[in-house]
């Protein structure tokens, strides 16, 4: 699993830091983008992210520095002849934000844009008609599909699910997203398979998925019993905060789960704690204490105020005094989470 920090600045971009955007590539080839800061389409190209691959986009809240790059990215997909649909999840108002771009500046693409708005208060997902070449405004309200949110899950995929926790920010509703991988088969032992004279190819693939196979010579091979595949492994968990104050909800979650990576905003340092409280952001020290108390495996800080963005060494020093090994995210940083 690969996490790429496409943008790490808060509110204002600089020559060295774009606005907030984080790309996650799963081992199965699927991908997710969390927030879409200004010029995210160029960040895609700099990171050599392909423009016609399966993608779901998750917007933490409707502040410009987190969503202003979304129309540009969708336009860029269109100009590159993308054919894959794009799913977009976010707060109330997201659909009409994109609809306004369609009606005013011609956001019409050769692929479908499928918007689902998240309402944690009503515990409801509202999926709007696809914005595609055939879209019309006729009876739009009657074409919205509503589904209840169960156990915080807003999207289910074959190998993972995305959950949403409520953030504490200045917008009507904002989210912290949780990427939770489903339990995985154990590690494959090729030497053991070779020693049992199991031919390479489809048989190996089936065993890697934990399946019992029957060979042409009649042998029935249970990969777990034969030591070809280890026991099931827990799914990895990555948490990506939006703009938020530290919340008891998030602390409770990370205490109850084994979190592999916590990506948390750290807009200010403790010197500006009152400003952080007023603007509903988190300080570097607060984010590190949250990770320490929750015993996460790894912490990456991002979303830095412009006053720090060109001098992050001091931030790194402060952070590591509290939570050793804290990563200070800079644009184009890549974190690989091993299997």
* d(C-alpha 207, C-alpha 215), whole Å: 12
Q: What is the pLDDT of residue 193?
A: 96
Q: Tokens for 119, please give them.
A: 């309402």
> What is the average pLDDT value for the chain, to the nearest integer?
96
Of 188, 252, 257, 194, nearest to 223 by C-alpha is: 188
Q: What is the pLDDT of residue 309?
A: 82
* d(C-alpha 181, C-alpha 183), whole Å: 7
* d(C-alpha 193, C-alpha 176), whole Å: 43
**DSSP 3-state percent helix, strand, coil across the chain (nearest 5):** 25, 25, 45
| pLDDT of 339 above 80 | no
| Burial degree of 332 (CB within 10 A; 0-12, 13-18, 19+) | middle
Instruction: Say if CB 9 and CB 19 are below 8 A apart.
Output: yes
Q: What is the pLDDT of residue 76?
A: 96
Quick one: average pLDDT of 27-50?
A: 96
Residue with tokens 């943008």: 7
* d(C-alpha 187, C-alpha 234), whole Å: 12
Q: What is the pLDDT of residue 94?
A: 98
Q: What is the pLDDT of residue 315?
A: 94
Cα dihedral 320→324→328→333 (10° resolution): 160
* Terminal-residue alpha carbon distance, the chain: 8
* d(C-alpha 138, C-alpha 58), whole Å: 27
| pLDDT of 87 above 80 | yes
pLDDT tens digits along 42-79: 999 999 999 999 999 999 999 999 999 999 999 999 99
Sketch the domain layout of the chain as residue ranges. 2-184+234-336, 185-232
Query: Which pTM was predicted?
Result: 0.93
Q: Which residue has the higher pLDDT, 185 or 20?
A: 20
Catalytic: which of 39, 65, 260, 331?
65
Q: What is the pLDDT of residue 311?
A: 83
CATH 3.40.50.300 is held by the domain 2-184+234-336:
no
| pLDDT of 122 above 90 | yes
CB atoms within 10 A of CB 242: 28
Residue with tokens 């996650």: 24
Alpha carbons within 13 A on the beta-carbon side of 176:
25
Q: What is the pLDDT of residue 310?
A: 77
Q: Tokens for 83, please give them.
A: 């054919």
pLDDT tens digits along 278-332: 999 999 999 999 999 999 999 999 999 999 987 899 999 999 999 999 999 999 9
Q: What is the pLDDT of residue 108?
A: 86
Of 91, 41, 47, nearest to 243 by C-alpha is: 91
- pLDDT band with cut points at 50, 70 and 90 for residue 175: very high
Quick one: average pLDDT of 187-193?
A: 95
In the chain, which residue ranges form alpha helices assigned H by DSSP? 40-46, 64-67, 70-79, 94-105, 190-195, 202-208, 248-256, 273-279, 284-294, 313-322
Quick one: average pLDDT of 170-176?
A: 96
Q: Assess whether 65 carries a catalytic annotation.
A: yes
């Amino acid at each position: 699993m690969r996490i790429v920090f496409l943008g790490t600045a808060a509110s204002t971009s600089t020559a060295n830091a774009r606005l907030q955007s984080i790309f996650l590539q799963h081992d199965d080839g699927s991908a997710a983008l969390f927030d879409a800061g200004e010029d995210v389409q160029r960040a895609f190209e700099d990171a050599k992210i392909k423009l016609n691959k399966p993608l779901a986009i998750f917007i933490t809240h409707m502040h410009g520095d987190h969503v202003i790059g979304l129309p540009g990215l969708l336009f860029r997909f269109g100009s590159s002849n993308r054919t894959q649909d794009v799913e977009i999840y976010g707060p109330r108002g997201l659909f009409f934000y994109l609809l306004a771009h369609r009606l005013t500046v011609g956001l019409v693409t050769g692929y479908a844009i499928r918007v689902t708005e998240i309402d944690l208060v009503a515990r409801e997902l509202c999926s709007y008609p696809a914005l595609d070449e055939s879209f019309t405004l006729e009876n739009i309200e009657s074409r919205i599909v509503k589904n209840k949110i169960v156990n915080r899950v807003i999207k289910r995929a074959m190998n993972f699910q995305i959950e949403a926790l409520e953030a504490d920010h200045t917008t009507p509703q904002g989210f912290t997203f949780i990427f939770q991988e489903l339990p995985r088969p154990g590690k494959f032992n090729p030497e053991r398979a070779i020693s049992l004279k199991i031919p390479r190819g489809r048989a190996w693939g089936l065993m890697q998925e934990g399946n019992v196979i029957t060979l042409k010579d009649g042998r029935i091979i249970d990969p777990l019993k034969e030591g070809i595949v280890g026991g099931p492994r827990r799914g990895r968990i990555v948490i990506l905060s939006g703009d938020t104050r530290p919340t008891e909800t998030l602390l409770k979650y990370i205490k109850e789960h084994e979190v592999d990576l916590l990506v948390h905003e750290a807009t200010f340092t403790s010197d500006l704690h009152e400003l952080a409280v007023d603007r509903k952001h988190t300080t570097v020290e607060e984010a590190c204490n949250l990770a320490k108390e929750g015993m996460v495996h790894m912490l990456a800080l991002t979303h830095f105020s412009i006053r720090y963005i060109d001098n992050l060494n001091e931030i790194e020093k402060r952070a590591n005094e509290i939570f050793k090994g804290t990563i200070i995210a800079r644009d184009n940083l890549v974190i690989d989470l091993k299997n």
